[in-house]
A and B are shown apart, each in its own frame.
Chain A
């Protein structure tokens, strides 16, 4: 017993103070990219050609980047001879409107808005979610799971993952939705009582990500059920996920 107590003292109190203070992100972390149109050569397509997921397009010379597809590999930034695409360390990129993830120099990302008044009244202090992995690679799942550890302590915000969709207020879905999971996802969605919300986490869940146009998967969650919150990344940093969750609850 004395050893248990000694370990308890040694392990200290480790819960982060977020959202009051933001923990430091790694030096090499890639967050929301910033687009500097002036740096872009008109007839150059280097960034488009290196992008592994086809997230970049140029329409009459204007760079458009879809963060719903982006896996944040940083290839585009490296391929550009100028500084047309520079990744910032801004992790706050969850959105409520899928189209807000398509950014250019002029169109900046519009962060997630709070739920409507009625939903907020019901969910603000108590949100129960059922997680469904539908083709996720276990990285998004792992970084959702991490929110439950003492370091993040998701429960202090009244958000909790539950075992049954019938006990849940919504689904948090990862993965591009494989053909083999389509039915199970729909059943889980139907089992959640109204009003309900759906949160899609990770580039696969947002657009199909690295599996766009694979025969065996769909192209993301919103092709099957309506999505209320989109959290980009491959996988998103736990801060990005938590920020998104708190934002729709008006707590961030």
Chain B
């Protein structure tokens, strides 16, 4: 019997024709069978084929088995029966499909805009709770701090939040659309600014796509440099978040120290490549800067100092009752809800869900070296802070190990842009916010027919909304920071 899905392997591309193209009924049956069997949707999007027929592609993973599958469906009459009512994880993907291609998911519970292309962000009907004593709080797009724009709409009774709806699109730059027809000379740099705090993660995902399409093998040394850079990125952001969380509850010691220590970790990235956000470090085919002996020594020394500073600064949190009183039981999301909406990253791991691309779908150096998955149980602000605390320590250990065993070799060569035509490949990376998924389809001439990006924030914004339910509106800043999701990564 013909397989109804295609297994996609890391660093391999497949002819697009090998992705089973199913009719709607078979596709629906198969997809729901897969999701009931533990399948998690990584990406679900529309693309056009050569005859300008619309096709829906689904990328779905079984984390426990480390498998990623692709299947597709031919769209008839620009509509299909929505899957959202059967499985919540489809809800946002279907809204996105409708916005990007006009394909209507029939029976979708509330088909709202996702990114408002064209400039009318925020113009939509928000969920409203009726009642004389209910009041509505609108926040944003411009927020109080130095932070990206987004709109939040709370339905409250007194201090209690009954519902939070997030509305985005303010950061929409139309990146995906401009990638079509590429790769262009600016593509790799655009990847670096999808979410500017996740430059290494997105650039690595893109590099792996290019390497799969050009069948390029990467020297182990270049892979090690990428892994070091990715973990440095994770450390810097997690440390910054721990500091900011402390700031949000008025515990200024940790806040002041971690703000500075974060900078030290950004400077370690700058030591590698000259840029604090690792711009231009990860390139298709390898890395733009090597770690020579001098840098290796300096990095090891700075890492050691950074580790001591961090442990001293952040361990205060767990010994200060007033901190724990504010963190504990604030912004709880149950493991059940997190699993239902398929949250990713530290936010999911803080609910006890062991989900980590580095372990489940390893690529690059993570094939060779294992990094333990850090989890916590309660799903509250405390757990999300604690997972970060654990992860920083694991990442530092990992970098130390890599620096000690840095493989000999070079930093690789550029892949060029001669991509395999009519092919598909998928790249999964565990960024510091969680899984990011890049899927690319090439056309007959080896140019991108479709390049689809899913940032971890795409999976997790609903998690923040659910975590606020029943909580106090004054807890929103600390809850928001405990997720610290990307606005531009979501808005692309």
Residues of A within 8 A of B (CB): 3-4, 7-8, 10-11, 14, 26-30, 49-53, 71-74, 131-146, 148-151, 161, 163-165, 175-176, 178-184, 188, 204, 210-211, 214-217, 234-235, 237-238
Given A28-B270, A52-B186, A163-B144, also A181-B149 (CB < 8 A)? yes
CA distance A132 to B148 in the complex (A): 8
**Chain B positions within 8 Å of A11 at CB level:** 257, 309, 312-313
Q: Are A139 and B274 in contact (CB under 8 A)?
A: no
Residues of B within 8 A of A (CB): 115-121, 141-142, 144-149, 169-175, 177-178, 185-186, 188-190, 193-197, 199, 240, 253, 256-257, 259-260, 262-263, 266-267, 270-277, 279-280, 289, 295, 308-309, 312-313, 316, 319-320, 486-488
**Chain B positions within 8 Å of A215 at CB level:** 117, 174, 177
* CB proximity of A2 to chain B, nearest CB, Å: 11
**Chain B positions within 8 Å of A165 at CB level:** 142
Q: Are B316 and A151 in contact (CB under 8 A)?
A: no
* CB proximity of A95 to chain B, nearest CB, Å: 21
Partner of A29, one of B146, B274, B319: B274
Q: Are A131 and B253 in contact (CB under 8 A)?
A: no
* CB proximity of A14 to chain B, nearest CB, Å: 6
Centre residue among A4, A53, A71, A136 by max chain B CB count within 10 A: A136
Residue of B nearest to A14 (CB): B260
Q: Are B256 and A149 in contact (CB under 8 A)?
A: yes
* CB proximity of B187 to chain A, nearest CB, Å: 8
Q: Are A146 and B259 in contact (CB under 8 A)?
A: yes
Q: Are B173 and A211 in contact (CB under 8 A)?
A: yes
Given A28-B274, A142-B197, A184-B170, also A136-B189 (CB < 8 A)? no
Partner of B193, one of A50, A150, A180, A210: A210
CA distance A52 to B237 in the complex (A): 27
Besides the known contacts A28-B273, A52-B189, A161-B145, 17 further A-B residue pairs in the complex with CB atoms under 8 A apart: A27-B271, A71-B279, A133-B146, A134-B170, A136-B171, A137-B194, A139-B193, A139-B277, A142-B277, A146-B262, A163-B145, A178-B171, A180-B171, A181-B121, A181-B170, A184-B149, A210-B193
CA distance A237 to B149 in the complex (A): 22
Q: Are A136 and B488 in contact (CB under 8 A)?
A: yes
CA distance A143 to B262 in the complex (A): 11
Given A11-B313, A28-B274, A140-B196, also A135-B257 (CB < 8 A)? no
* CB proximity of A72 to chain B, nearest CB, Å: 8
CA distance A138 to B192 in the complex (A): 11
**Chain B positions within 8 Å of A8 at CB level:** 253
**Chain B positions within 8 Å of A179 at CB level:** 118-119, 172
Partner of B195, one of A135, A138, A149: A138
Residue of A nearest to B259 (CB): A149
Given A145-B146, A179-B118, also A138-B173 (CB < 8 A)? no
Residue of A nearest to B274 (CB): A28
CA distance A175 to B170 in the complex (A): 11
**Chain A positions within 8 Å of B190 at CB level:** 210
**Chain B positions within 8 Å of A52 at CB level:** 185-186, 188-189
Partner of B174, one of A7, A71, A74, A216: A216
Give me the 3 closest cross-chain CB pairs, A-B, nearest first: A137-B196, A139-B196, A28-B274
Q: Are B189 and A210 in contact (CB under 8 A)?
A: yes
Given A149-B259, A179-B118, also A26-B274 (CB < 8 A)? yes
CA distance A170 to B148 in the complex (A): 18
**Chain A positions within 8 Å of B312 at CB level:** 7, 10-11
